């Protein structure tokens, strides 16, 4: 025994503690009562009786089946909703892109419309300017025609 004690104290402190804990665990497992393994290895027992399977109570199976079916339905619904959301997000992205294209087209058309309006206004101003110059030319032509007629009358009288 003294040899065993000397052998024990020759180890470092950490390994002594590990050795003691492992010995205590072994002692606990040896001293505790062993459960009968044959009953637990056959099948789980129902809580109401010591019968492994109760054929008279199918409600538990039906409830589990309903729960499973409900869970499957919910998972399918969630998958469908996710799929719909994914397609809606894609469609939304396409619609946003289409809206941006339409917005840019509207801006371009508005600028073209403004340019056409400015060109029309410039053309109208040129037309008015030409009409004004034409009226002025007509007045000048009429003036010179009258002067020419007066000069011709004077020449007739001079002869």
**pLDDT for 51-85, tens place per residue?**
555 555 556 888 889 999 999 999 999 999 999 99
**pLDDT for 16-62, tens place per residue?**
777 788 888 777 777 766 655 444 444 454 455 555 555 555 568 88
**Lookup result for tokens 């003691």:** 20
**pLDDT for 83-140, tens place per residue?**
999 999 999 999 999 999 999 999 999 999 999 999 999 999 999 999 999 999 999 9
- Give the helix ranges, DSSP H, for the chain: 2-9, 13-31, 37-42, 59-158
Q: So where are the chain's domains?
A: 65-158
Q: Are 52 and 44 in contact (CB under 8 A)?
A: yes
**Lookup result for tokens 């004690």:** 5
The pTM of this model reads 0.40
Q: Are 8 and 16 in contact (CB under 8 A)?
A: yes
């Amino acid at each position: 025994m003294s040899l065993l004690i000397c052998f024990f104290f020759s180890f470092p402190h950490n390994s002594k503690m590990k050795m003691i804990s492992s010995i205590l665990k072994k002692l606990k497992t040896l001293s505790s009562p062993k459960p009968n393994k044959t009953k637990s290895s056959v099948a789980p027992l129902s809580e109401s009786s010591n019968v492994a399977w109760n054929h008279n109570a199918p409600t538990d199976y039906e409830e589990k089946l309903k729960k499973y079916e409900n869970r499957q339905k919910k998972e399918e619904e969630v998958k469908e909703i996710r799929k719909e959301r994914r397609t809606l997000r894609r469609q939304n992205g396409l619609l946003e892109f289409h809206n941006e294209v339409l917005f840019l087209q509207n801006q371009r058309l508005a600028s073209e419309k403004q340019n056409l309006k400015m060109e029309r206004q410039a053309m109208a101003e040129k037309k008015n300017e030409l009409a004004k110059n034409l009226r002025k030319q007509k007045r000048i032509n009429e003036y010179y025609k009258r002067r020419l007629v007066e000069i011709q009358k004077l020449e007739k009288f001079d002869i």
